[in-house]
Amino acid sequence: MLACQPGKTIVDGTLGGCGHAGRICEQIAPDGVFVGVDQDWDAIEQARRVLPVDRLQVHIVHGNFAELPAFLSQLGIAAVDGILIDIGLSQHQLEASGRGFSFQRDEPLDMRMNVDADLTASDLVATLSERELARIFSRYGEERWSARIARHLAAERRKTPIATSGQLARLVAAAVPAAAARAQKIHPATRVFMALRIAVNRELEVLERFLDGAVDLLRPAGRLCVLAFHSLEDRIVKHRFREWAHPCQCPPSFPRCVCGRQATVRLLTPKVMRPSDAETRSNPMARSTRLRAVEKL
């Protein structure tokens, strides 16, 4: 989808473990320009360790992909041939970062992808009102028991601070009615953990900001690819891509367009792409991935 070729300039806005980045670098060498961004210092260190340094230019930037226009301008790059973002958590963050992203571990309740940011998950759990917590669990986690869980957490935090992921997981599990917990296929804290992580990292807001600037950074025929794991994120991408490809706002009854809004992209994925069964078998973490891509006109 990125149409990588030798000599092209490609951005990976989410380096993570550098799986995509490594393949992109291979495909744009020789003479390509690669810009890799991640807000997690662990991903930056990994990129410095594993990405090639010869036969192409490699720029590694610590920061949020929402700031991509500024990063490219600082590098003196006016436009690029492709941009990829693969949003969500990396396997490293979930399993080895020690930052409390997983309810299966007992770690400090941090959940910041960027440890330079101010607020941790435990700060949010300690300071947000019960109502605000319930709203986050419901909106970002689509958690059915959001009000009940928030009430339970608000009562518990008066007795003792909620400082670890293990503690939070136990409290959430205790708040969900036992019969409902048994009927679920997932751990009762799954949605609350996801919701808190989205809130801590302001994931939906930064995605919107990134999309505001992304198309302007592409050369004609340049491509933008977004891999999302979460239906809320995918919905944002789907609507933006549609708006860009079909911007006309004239009522359907008009014989021709009078609003003058012109498409800026062509949809490369009129239907979202999902991994095949074979891919899911070999890489179970890909299970809920959704890929959407556009090409600049």
Instruction: Identify whether the C-beta of residue 237 lies closer than 8 Å to the C-beta of residue 211.
Output: yes
Helix (H, G, I), strand (E, B) or coil at 11: strand
Closest approach of Cβ 205 to ligand SAM, in Å? 9
Among 10, 11, 20, 200, binds ligand SAM (CB under 6 A): 20
String marking each residue 66-105 x if it binds ligand SAM according to CB under 6 A: x-------------------xxx-x---------------
The β-bridge relationship of strands 57-62 and 33-38 is parallel
Measured distance CA(199)–CA(205) in Å, rounded: 9
Site string for ligand SAM, 201-240 (x = CB under 6 A): -----x----------------------------------
**Contact between 200 and ligand SAM per CB under 6 A:** no
Q: Which phi-psi region, left, alpha or beta, contains residue 244 (left: φ > 0; alpha: ψ -120 to 50)?
A: alpha
Contact residues for 114 (Cβ-Cβ < 8 A; gap 6+) = 39, 40, 41, 64, 201
Taking CB positions, which residue lies at the least distance from ligand SAM? 16
Write out the binding residues for ligand SAM, residues 49-68 only, by CB under 6 A: 64-66
Among 4, 10, 18, 169, binds ligand SAM (CB under 6 A): 18
Q: Label the pairing between strands 265-267 and 290-296.
A: antiparallel
Give me the residues that bind ligand SAM (CB under 6 A), please: 13-14, 16-20, 37-40, 43, 64-66, 86-88, 90, 113, 206
